[in-house]
Amino acid sequence: MLTKDKKTYDVDFIKSQFPALNRKVWDKPLCYLDSAASMQKPKMVLDSIVNNYSVNYSNVHRGLHFLSEQATISYENSRVNVSKFLNASESEIIFTSGATAAINLIAYSWGNTSLKKDDEIILTIAEHHANFVPWQNLAHSKEAKLRIAYFNPDDEFDIEEIKKLATDKTKLIAFPHVSNVLGTIFPVKEICQFAKEIGAISFVDGCQGAIHFGVDVKNLGCDFYCFSGHKLYGPTGVGVLYGNYEILDKIPPFLYGGDMIDEVKINKTTFADPPLKFEAGTPPIVPAIVLGVAIDWVNTIGLDKIFEHEKKVIEYGFEKLDSINGVNIFGKNKNKAGVISFVMDCAHSHDIATIVDREGVAVRAGHHCAQPLMEAFNLVSTTRASVGSYTSFSDFDRLADSLIKVKKIFGDL
Ligand code: PLP
By residue count, the chain amounts to 413
SS3 state at 342: strand
C-beta of residue 365 within 8 angstroms of C-beta of residue 350: yes
C-beta of residue 336 within 8 angstroms of C-beta of residue 311: no
pLDDT band at 5 (very low <50, low <70, confident <90, very high): low
Burial of 167 (0-12, 13-18, 19+ CB in 10 A): exposed
Whole-number Å distance between alpha carbons of 175 and 192: 10
Pocket test for ligand 1, best of 39, 100, 230, 241 (most atoms within 8 A of CB): 100
212 in contact with ligand 1, CB cutoff 6 A: no
274 in contact with ligand 1, CB cutoff 6 A: no
Sheet containing 339-344: give its strands across. Answer: 327-330, 339-344, 382-386, 364-366
104 in contact with ligand 1, CB cutoff 6 A: no
pLDDT band at 413 (very low <50, low <70, confident <90, very high): confident
Indicate the helix (H) or strand (E) that contains 145: strand 145-149
Question: Count of H helices and E strands in the chain?
Answer: 14, 17
Mean pLDDT of the chain: 97
Centre of ligand 1 from the C-alpha of residue 238, in Å: 12
Q: What is the pLDDT of residues 31-75, one digit of tens each?
A: 999 999 999 999 999 999 999 999 999 999 988 999 999 999 999
Pocket test for ligand 1, best of 177, 369, 386, 387 (most atoms within 8 A of CB): 369
pLDDT at 4 exceeding the cut of 70:
no
pLDDT band at 393 (very low <50, low <70, confident <90, very high): very high
pTM reported for the whole predicted model? 0.97
The pLDDT of 108-134, averaged and rounded, is: 98
Centre of ligand 1 from the C-alpha of residue 83, in Å: 20
205 in contact with ligand 1, CB cutoff 6 A: yes
Pocket test for ligand 1, best of 186, 208, 215 (most atoms within 8 A of CB): 208
384 in contact with ligand 1, CB cutoff 6 A: no
Which pairing describes strands 361-362 and 28-29: parallel, antiparallel, or unpaired?
Answer: unpaired
Query: What is the pLDDT, as a whole number, of residue 375?
Result: 97
- Where do the domains of the chain lie, and which CATH numbers do they carry? 11-43+302-409 (3.90.1150.10), 48-299 (3.40.640.10)
pLDDT at 362 exceeding the cut of 80:
yes
Query: What is the pLDDT, as a whole number, of residue 6?
Result: 61
Centre of ligand 1 from the C-alpha of residue 227, in Å: 8
Q: What is the pLDDT of residues 249-286, one digit of tens each?
A: 999 999 999 999 999 999 999 999 999 999 999 999 99
C-beta of residue 46 within 8 angstroms of C-beta of residue 19: yes
Centre of ligand 1 from the C-alpha of residue 98, in Å: 8
pLDDT band at 336 (very low <50, low <70, confident <90, very high): very high
pLDDT band at 158 (very low <50, low <70, confident <90, very high): very high
Q: Which of 283, 206, 254 is nearest to 105 (CA)?
A: 254
Q: Annotated active-site positions, please?
A: 369
Amino acid at 80: V
153 in contact with ligand 1, CB cutoff 6 A: no
Query: What is the pLDDT, as a whole number, of residue 180?
Result: 98
Query: What is the pLDDT, as a whole number, of residue 172?
Result: 98
DSSP 185: B
The pLDDT of 119-141, averaged and rounded, is: 98
Percent of the chain with pLDDT over 70: 99
98 in contact with ligand 1, CB cutoff 6 A: yes
Query: What is the pLDDT, as a whole number, of residue 2?
Result: 54
Q: What is the pLDDT of residues 183-228, one digit of tens each?
A: 999 999 999 999 999 999 999 999 999 999 999 999 999 999 999 9
pLDDT at 1 exceeding the cut of 80:
no
pLDDT at 327 exceeding the cut of 80:
yes
Percent of the chain with pLDDT over 90: 97
C-beta of residue 211 within 8 angstroms of C-beta of residue 232: yes
Query: What is the pLDDT, as a whole number, of residue 63?
Result: 84
Centre of ligand 1 from the C-alpha of residue 319, in Å: 27
Residues forming beta bridges with residue 329, ordered by sequence position: 342
Q: What is the pLDDT of residues 370-390, one digit of tens each?
A: 999 999 999 999 999 999 999
pLDDT at 3 exceeding the cut of 80:
no
Whole-number Å distance between alpha carbons of 83 and 162: 29
Which pairing describes strands 120-124 and 145-149: parallel, antiparallel, or unpaired?
Answer: parallel
The pLDDT of 101-107, averaged and rounded, is: 98
- CA–CA distances in Å: residue 24 to residues 85, 169, 171, 315, 362: 34, 55, 50, 27, 12
Q: Which residues are CB-contacts of 34 (< 8 A; sequence separation ≥ 6)?
A: 362, 363, 364, 384, 386
Percentages helix, strand, coil for the chain (3-state, rounded to 5) are 40, 20, 40
Centre of ligand 1 from the C-alpha of residue 129, in Å: 8
